Amino acid sequence: MFHVKLPGHDAIARQAGEHLVTHRVTLPRKVVERPLRQVAKRLVMALAVLVATALVVYADRDGYHDNSDGSVDLLDAFYYATVTLSTTGYGDITPVSDSARLTNIFVITPLRVLFLIILVGTTLEVLTERTREEWRLNRWRSALRDHTVVVGFGTKGRSAIRTVCATGLRKEQVVVVDPSSKVIDTANAEGFAGVMGDATRSEVLERAEVHRARQIIVAPQRDDTAVLVTLTARQLNRGAKIVAAVREEENAPLLRQSGADAVITSSGAAGRLLGLSVLSPAAGMVMEDLIQQGSGLDIVERPVVRAEVGRRPRETDDLVVSVLRGHRVLGYDDPSIGTLRLTDRLITIVRATPGAQVTPHRPVNGD
């Protein structure tokens, strides 16, 4: 196993202050209070128990005997409550009356137990946090299959995964890989599992279980990083669908040679959309609507149903744009299509239906 480094690879790690040599996996959590706030809350509860115990003792102070002066004042009540709840028990203040002893049995003893639960509970939670996290990670890894790995959670990566999730992909089936801890925290907050580290390193992608992934979205900030990630991902998973984004058109062939099934040129696509909008603002709005999954019009791929077999693309109920036949993508008016076959797939434009799922597919050559 070897790593290929293109010019500028080391500069990437130096420029990004969040890049670390080590890597870690973080899973999304339910919204919980901050640790300091939890400790403060438990401290307040412990103090409340202490005050309650002291007031109970002071209310029945005549039933207690202090070896030093024979009487129990408010300070003595707090002192007795402190040594009693902490199970220290010096014995210099003792209950002597029946009422004081009954109070110790039925009131102060339960308060002591509650006090200890509060303190021990806080300690146990701190001690068992790492164990619980390891258990969650092991259970997550064992259940993760046919998931989607997103390398780079910037504007492109975030938009891509939101589009895929709009078609029915569950957030539990998404793993985000990024070198920035802040970005991973953002991904966790949105419900995605995250792996912090350099995705050009095979051990980082292995942490994301990329060898068991169904599809991989490569959307880093630099084209050379995209090439390295694609090379590494393809070596680890020969069958996954890899879709990558590049800034410059001339780098697209290199990404395809590295193993990407589809390559999107972000600057070129934005430029073409700008040009279309100059020629026809309405056409630009339609194209923008088509690429926003789940609203207005959607462009989707689906299989041919039996009722459509033997028909021409224009005779279907949907607006057919292209027909996928084998490894070829044919225009709807291509005469070589003839009639539709059961093994064909259709690229259609449909009215968006919230919650509708699109059947996943493997891209064909030239897609």
Strands 215-218 and 241-246, bridge-based pairing: parallel
pLDDT at 39 over 70: yes
Residue 12 has pLDDT above 50, yes or no: no
CATH code linked to domain 35-141: 1.10.287.70
Tens of pLDDT, residue by residue over 252-262, are: 899 999 999 98
Q: Which CATH architecture has domain 9-31+144-269?
A: 3-Layer(aba) Sandwich (3.40)
Say which CATH superfamily domain 294-351 falls into.
Regulator of K+ conductance, C-terminal domain (3.30.70.1450)
CB 161 within 8 A of CB 218: no
Interval 80-108 mean pLDDT:
90
365: pLDDT strictly greater than 50: no
> What's the rounded Cα separation, in Å, for the pair 367 and 356?
23
Provide CB contacts within 8 A for 150, sequence distance 6+. Answer: 157, 160, 161, 174, 175, 176, 177, 192, 216, 217, 219
Residue range(s) in the chain whose domain bears CATH number 3.30.70.1450: 294-351
Question: Does residue 84 or residue 274 have the better pLDDT?
Answer: 84
**CA dist., res. 313 & res. 321, Å (int):** 9
Cβ atoms of residues 200 and 228 within 8 Å: yes
Which range, of 24-28, 55-59, 145-149, averages the lowest pLDDT?
A: 24-28
Burial-class residue 178 by CB neighbours within 10 Å (0-12, 13-18, 19+).
buried
226, pLDDT greater than 90 = yes
Q: Which residues of 36-52 are buried (b: 16+ CB within 10 A; e: fewer)?
A: eeeeeebeebbeebbeb
| Average pLDDT, rounded, for the chain | 81
pLDDT digits (tens, 9 = 90+) for 124-144: 766 676 677 778 788 888 888
The pLDDT value given to residue 53: 93
- Whole-number Å distance between alpha carbons of 206 and 200: 11
CATH 1.10.287.70 range(s) for the chain read 35-141
Where in the chain are all domains bearing CATH 3.40.50.720?
9-31+144-269
Considering 230-234, 291-295, 335-339, the range whose residues carry the highest mean pLDDT is 230-234
- Strands in 297-303's sheet, in edge-to-edge order, are 297-303, 345-351, 319-325, 328-331
Residue 331: enclosing H or E segment and its boundaries?
A: strand 328-331
Q: Is the pLDDT of residue 216 over 90?
A: yes
